[in-house]
Structure 1
Amino acid sequence: MSEQRDHSPVEGNEDFASFEQTLNLLPAQKLREMLQSVMKNDVNAKRHVLKWLKTHSDGLSPAQKTRIDDELLWEYWEKVEPIIAKFNELGGGPERREEQVYEWLEKITELVQKGTLSTTGKIDFIDEAFYEYDKQNSGFEDKLMEIFFSMCTIREEWESLVDHLQERPSDWRNKLTMDIWKDQLHEDEKYVALRQKYLKYGLDYWDLASFYIGKGDVNNAVVVAEKGLIKGEGRIDELGDFLKDHYQRQGDALNLERINQIINTRNRPRPHPTMPGHRKTVKPVKKKRRS
């Protein structure tokens, strides 16, 4: 059996050396034309070129680096968007495809964290990706929202995200909007107005009370906390602890006792229908008339 010749382009191989020499002899215009042709015919070529440029960007200007990152962002999204669209259509998909989505979304996350994306690039991406996010049927919504939040760093970007959130308001989207207004944009009036419309749980009241505490407005914090202690559903621990600490500092024994009584009443278990002392309601039985 004859020995098979190795044609792989190993460095030192005469064919490879000849190929390198040919490339070196090509004028810059021909190299550009060749590169454009390769990228046109290979869907992955542009991404590889951009990644190479990113790792060899020492001589590039900040604007050029930003341009590379913006282009890479779209290369990654073009890989993942069709899969997410299919998941939205079917309400899920194969585990293998799901893993691919998370791999590409993780690349986008890394690019956001380490890159220099432009504001225009970020806003355009949020506009595009929100189309799939709004369908709410792929299972990737949490990861996408995590990316949106990590992208935003300046007012214009945060405002763009709020606009999308408020296009289809929901309890969750309102919460995200309030967080942005309170923590990122410092739109206090907008935050308070929306927060006061959504005070249902103890933690909702605590969110507003802690906002007032942060502003040094203890009086309003106490008012909100007292309302939440009585009306708030679910967890009220933070409200109770704040009020007890407040009245203790004030040396107000009467109000401290009142707060403790409210807490004890709220924490008292409701009697079970089978427990002794629970009066069971018996419906009166109607007597049948004799015919």
Structure 2
Amino acid sequence: MAEGGAERIHLTSQAVADVEAYLEYKRIVGDADKDLPGGIMTPEQYEHFKKTVVVDRIKNRLFVSWTNPDGMDCKLVGPETPCFCGHRYKAHRSDYNDLPPHPIPVPCQERGCRCRSYRYLPSVVGTQPPRCTCKHTAEEHDARAPHACKRSGNACACRAYRTSYRCECGHTTADHAMIVETREERLERGKPVGKVVPYAAMGGITGFSSLIDGYRRLDDSGIGAPSAEELRSPMPAECKYFMPPSQLQAQPAQLHSSTARRAIQPDRRHAAASGQPAGSMPTVKSTHGSQHTTATKPTGHSRK
């Protein structure tokens, strides 16, 4: 037992290799073994799975994205991305021996779930999705499209889930579309497809940048790479709060960053909504034990 009550686990090199092998196994198998005795495949079943299911998975991989009218993939769906039905993407069918005609369904495979095809729903606070215009939560609506309200039987007249929530791209939720496409179709749209991988329920994930929302993603699936003109343009004064003092003093006239300039746009919108000046920084509260401290960053005035 280590100091402070924390437990330290020591593994041999063989144990570490075994853990890595199991993690690789789960990335490939996903939830396909949950109904097997012991919840795991035998070595023979695993090898057969890789020679059959994985081969078809690579050939017929489905790329799933939540896309706005401008063609930007605001959300690239991954294994852990939740669906309207409350289950994650990895609980939906994404492996096909032969692809069905379009639109390709991605139904939920959890017992008793009425979801016929995956639908992404953005979160407003934490994991809480926005309420419907009928004032009821998404959980109180049917998992099957068009997601009629189930509140108190038929007491609510809502026949389809609708929300006024706007994505950070500026479009409403209703303006977005769920796109389920093949590798060839995604390439035709000019979107990245990443490397060929054998893992289950990868959806639209093609790299670490796929975890970022589209309006911040600097590739062809998001807002795109900045132009040469943007890279040469002067950095806004607000961006100095994001730069180390050493860089500010070393090259104050050569600092350029369209990425940082884009990053502050949401802050400007939030400042306008809260009545704060555009150049001001929000108040940050921190708690240390029983003491509470409040600190506010400067709003453009030089320190003496």
Using CA pairs below 8 Å that are at least 6 residues apart, which structure has the higher relative contact order?
2
| Larger Rg belongs to | 1
Q: Does TM, scored on the shorter chain, surpass 0.5?
A: no
- TM-score normalised to structure 1 length: 0.23
The structure with the largest helix share of the pair is: 1
- TM-score normalised to structure 2 length: 0.22
